[in-house]
Structure 1
Amino acid sequence: MTADSPLDLEDELERAEALDTDALADAIESIGFECTRCGACCTRDGDDEHTATVFPDEVRELEAATGDEWRDVARPMPYGLRETEGGDLAGETFEWALQTDSCGDCVYYEEDDTGTGTGACVAHEDRPLICRTYPFSVALGGTSQPMGEAVDSVALPAQREVGESDDEEMIVRAHECEGLGRDISREDATDLARALKERAVRELEEAIAVRDNYEPAVFGDENENDPIVVHDSEGAKRIDGTPLEE
């Protein structure tokens, strides 16, 4: 969520808002995808806990749907936090991640009882946009490139204005998933394309709000009970989702 200048993110947001969902659906169709319920995108990856970005309003939607409290739904994104002498995390971070269980898997993922290693999301209807759109992301040619290596990609038709350079090409990227390459219906591709565009817009809106609202947290004796501060689009929060100033 960084930008080289105050205008970069706004320019990129305009590009996200102008994305053509039909072109996105074409790209998704050409790559192909069908979820196999393998659970790879919901579970721990080696030494790394499952990490999926969740927006503040999505946390509240999951709270309402599941009856869970904020800290049961989301945790501070670990990137940027430091480890204390006692082994705890402390510092500032700029996103929320879905909560994980003791195994490092998403707390909402459950394996079924078939013995095949497949499973499902128990909050599927209320899952965040990043879950709805995996394994796809959009590279807009600006500042906020999607994380992770791509195993396939399709360039979108040029939507550049006169004077824009070729390095600003927009690309649909596909990340590692065993469901890639499978047939997908136009209806499902269109639904996925709409969610992908919404996610691209929401990520940039969040980044802009975080940038505009950010004030460095002050750590000291008076904040010893708040060793982690999460800055999201609504301001600085404690790990339980309550505003820091309360």
Structure 2
Amino acid sequence: MESLEAELERARALDTDALADAVESIGFECTRCGACCKATDGDDGEEPHTATVFPDEIRDLQDAGDYDFRDVARPMPYGLTEGDDGPAGETFEWALQTDACGDCAFYAESDGEGACTVHDDRPLICRTYPFSVALGGTSQPMGETVDSAGMVRAHECEGLGRDISRAEAEELAAALKERAVRELEEAVGVRDNYESVSPGPGEVVVHDSEGAKRADGTPYTAGNDGDSR
């Protein structure tokens, strides 16, 4: 397996024209169905929407809408255990916050059409859905891979296969490259800044590229009295 640094160099060397060609050949037009923003059916019932968001994207969304940290993001659920006091343990990275139904907190629906209430400030994973780049160390959005062209993978979405303009394909390609680079930079940062901790009962610790944090985004210090849930 290639090192994260090697994959990062590959991401930085991606040809956006080639990515745009791939996107154009697959085709895409958003139908505003909202499927990519909603909870999904899982083996154990509804699974909350999970979309990775970078620390600086969280701050950008906070600034854009005067939101509290927890209005925007929640700990990535993978690796956490559910106890009497709620989730606990260690996890890596952040996910966009969800509402009581498990849908993205920024998703709104009217007359059967979905809309993003922070569209201009939405994270890169939302800007690039339903596409990803086939590089190790990068994340895949929700949905199985159903098509591919060159380095580009397309994930389940009813908007695939529709005509897309060259300008829109180029915009998506630029965002795809930026996301691949950012994901790998974040992965390197997480690795380099990781310090093992021992969360207490009911404590959640999130490791991101800026270090260990509590669920409210504040730096984690063992034994402090912050609200960890």
TM-score by shorter chain over 0.5? yes
CA distance in 1, matches of 2:115, 2:85: 32
CA distance in 2, matches of 1:133, 1:146: 11
Count of matched residue positions in the alignment of Structure 1 and Structure 2: 217
Q: Name the residue aligned to 2:5.
A: 10
- Partner secondary structure for residue 229 of structure 1: strand
The alpha carbon displacement at 1:146 in A equals 3.0
CA distance in 2, matches of 1:12, 1:60: 27
CA distance in 1, matches of 2:106, 2:152: 27
The alpha carbon displacement at 1:144 in A equals 4.2
Distance 1:87 1:240, change over 3 A: closer
Match of 2:182 among 197, 202, 210: 202
- Partner secondary structure for residue 212 of structure 2: strand
Contact 2:12 2:177 in 1 (8 A): yes
Letter in 2 for 1:189: A
- C-alpha deviations, 1:22-50, integer Å up to 9, x for none? 00000000000000100000001112100
TM-score (structure 1 length as normaliser): 0.85
Higher strand share: 2
Q: Name the residue aligned to 2:108.
A: 110
Distance 1:149 1:56, change over 3 A: same
Q: Name the residue aligned to 1:167.
A: none
- Partner secondary structure for residue 41 of structure 1: helix
CA distance in 2, matches of 1:63, 1:97: 14
Question: Structure 1: any 5+ residue segments left out of the alignment?
Answer: 156-170
Contact 1:139 1:145 in 2 (8 A): no
Does residue 1:124 correspond to 2:123, yes or no? no
The alpha carbon displacement at 1:143 in A equals 4.6
- Partner secondary structure for residue 24 of structure 1: helix
Match of 2:14 among 3, 15, 19: 19
Q: Name the residue aligned to 1:160.
A: none
Letter in 1 for 2:145: A
- Partner secondary structure for residue 90 of structure 1: strand
Q: Name the residue aligned to 1:235.
A: 211
TM-score (structure 2 length as normaliser): 0.91
The alpha carbon displacement at 1:219 in A equals 2.5
The alpha carbon displacement at 1:145 in A equals 6.0
CA distance in 2, matches of 1:145, 1:40: 19
- Partner secondary structure for residue 92 of structure 1: strand
Letter in 1 for 2:65: T
Q: Name the residue aligned to 2:79.
A: 80
Distance 1:127 1:143, change over 3 A: closer
- C-alpha deviations, 1:142-165, integer Å up to 9, x for none? 35463652000012xxxxxxxxxx
Question: Structure 2: any 5+ residue segments left out of the alignment?
Answer: 225-229
- Partner secondary structure for residue 71 of structure 1: helix
Match of 1:187 among 149, 163, 167: 167
Identity rate, percent: 70
Does residue 1:178 correspond to 2:173, yes or no? no
The alpha carbon displacement at 1:67 in A equals 1.0
CA RMSD of aligned residues (A): 1.5
